[in-house]
Amino acid sequence: MTEKILRELLRGYKSGAVTEAQAIARLKNFSSDAVEDFGFASIDHGRELRQGFPEVVYAPGKTNEQLKIIFRNLYERSAGNLIASRASREQFDFLRDEIPAAVYDETARMIYVDRDDIERDDSKKILVVTAGTSDVPVAEEARLTAYLWGNAVGTCYDCGVAGIHRLFAHMDEITAANVIIVVAGMEGALASVVGGLTNRPVIAVPTSVGYGASFGGLAALLAMLNTCAAGVGVVNIDNGFGAGVLASKINRTG
């Protein structure tokens, strides 16, 4: 239940269009602590009301049937957009006939349903910047997540420090952005550079891109955590989804 639906329910009860019994029945079904237990999963239907977005499904480790049941249930009982992150094409093909509104993004590895008809605010644009092309899958996860959470999102890809003039060519976008997500592997230096160029919050996402001594993104993670640029926060390795959500929540506070 969204805040909009809850307001409509309360107005209906106040006007007499909804009886007390009907209101109680709906609130029992969609209360903020409503959890539906399937044995293999407990679906939190109150999350949309508490956080402004339905529960997001992490697809790896779930069977095709489990994912279909969870995603279908969320689709039927929520009003907002839906996300199944790190999903495979096989998982999407298994559920697509049952949920025709579902779309698969190959690069972001995301199954999603976009039910928004909102006009996104360009004055609070989130900018996603990558060091290299190899960082784009994680960046696209961040971009699509932020978009589905209702934000205007721009991108500047492949502008890392090895050719820093490529980054400076995007200074207009950097200056105009309200929140910046920087996605980088290797040594992760791009987050510090961008953090020193803007007064906006920067969310750094280390990726597992790089040769042996990058230790699967650990080198970039430590570099970003040790940045001397003020106002840079860091999420987990390859966590584009987490960066997209955090950027969205920062936008909502303004």
- What's the rounded Cα separation, in Å, for the pair 206 and 192? 12
Give the mean pLDDT of 186-196. Answer: 95
Print burial letters for 54-92: b (CB count within 10 Å at least 16), e (below 16): bbbbebeebeeebbbbbbebbbebbebbbbbbbbbeebb
pLDDT-derived band at 55, boundaries 50, 70, 90: confident
The reported pTM is: 0.85
More confident call, 77 vs 247: 247
Q: Are 90 and 82 in contact (CB under 8 A)?
A: no
Q: Are 224 and 218 in contact (CB under 8 A)?
A: no
Using the predicted structure, report yes or no on whether residue 52 has a pLDDT greater than 90. Answer: no
Minimum mean pLDDT range among 40-54, 129-143, 163-177? 40-54
- What's the rounded Cα separation, in Å, for the pair 181 and 202? 6
- In degrees, rounded to 5, the angle at the alpha carbon of residue 240 between the alpha carbons of residues 73 and 196 is 150
Using the predicted structure, report yes or no on whether residue 1 has a pLDDT greater than 70. Answer: no
For 49, other C-beta atoms within 10 Å of its C-beta total: 18
Fold of 122-253: Rossmann fold (3.40.50)
Give the pLDDT of residue 31. 57
pLDDT-derived band at 67, boundaries 50, 70, 90: very high
Using the predicted structure, report yes or no on whether residue 254 has a pLDDT greater than 70. Answer: no
